[in-house]
Structure 1
Amino acid sequence: GMVTNPFGPGGFLPLVMGMSPNNVSTPNFRATWHITDGLYAQTGIQRSLPVNGPTGNPIYDEVQANTSGFDFSSSVPGTRVLYTNELGYRTQAAPDKPQTWLRAGVLYNSSTFKDYSRLLANPAATTDGAVGFYVLGDYQVWQQAPSSPFTAYR
């Protein structure tokens, strides 16, 4: 959900699904279970960004309607709950050990979305709920000073 993204629109899946980016807050709960040192499972529940807002820009609509970030309801009709689940493997950079982060997840938003499959027949058509999936991987290709414990992350 970053404003600038090297992966283009595909990298915005969480934002399109209603997840708030770092600079915009909606009420949420997140819990992480560290199964091993590297393997984790994470689940989250949050009030969705307004996916059917008046301007079509969910970030702008959220900031205008929820300036404090603590409003559990939304003034935009059809804004409901976003559920997230992620399973991942993450190791921090260490001397001669690059950082690795692999993860896969599912997002389910129970909000009301515009139904573009019926756009020609009924431009006002809506549908409840949407599902999104993602698989991501990051690997540190190069370490500036691979033998230093203080700069292995660089």
Structure 2
Amino acid sequence: MAGLGLGLSFLNLPKLRPFSSHGRSKISARPEQEQEQEVNQEMSSSALKIVHAGGVVECYYMAMPAASIMKKYPSLILARPQVFRRPWDSLVRSREILTPGEKIYLVPPRTIKKLRKRITKPGQVAGSSIDVSKDGLTSKSFLQPKEVSDSSEKST
């Protein structure tokens, strides 16, 4: 045993400690880790986040004009997070000032065009005549042309 101990001394390995001491050191370090996570969350919530299409996030800790980001990325459009639900009024204009705490997406123009085609504005009647009835029949298809004109005369 003594020979074995001398053989390991030149490796500069730390002494082995009982499991109980390892457990105590982890418990004492845990509140520090939680505090660091809380500080990181507070700092990240107070930062202006620019999210790229690939998922890369840029953080800015002071207010800045949207025009400066638009100059940096001329082929992309700045949009607010609700762009995927309301693409017609969630775009950021170049004269706006972006403040810390906001999240802004950098979106390709093609994506905005696709979203605007797929999502209609509330209160706007769709331009196409898509039948949304259950059976594919509407109330107009049941009425003959004479009945439509007769019913309009009776109501007046």
TM-score normalized with structure 1 length: 0.18
**Whose radius of gyration is greater, 1 or 2?**
2
Structure (1/2) with the larger strand percentage: 1
Structure (1/2) with the larger helix percentage: 2
TM-score normalized with structure 2 length: 0.18
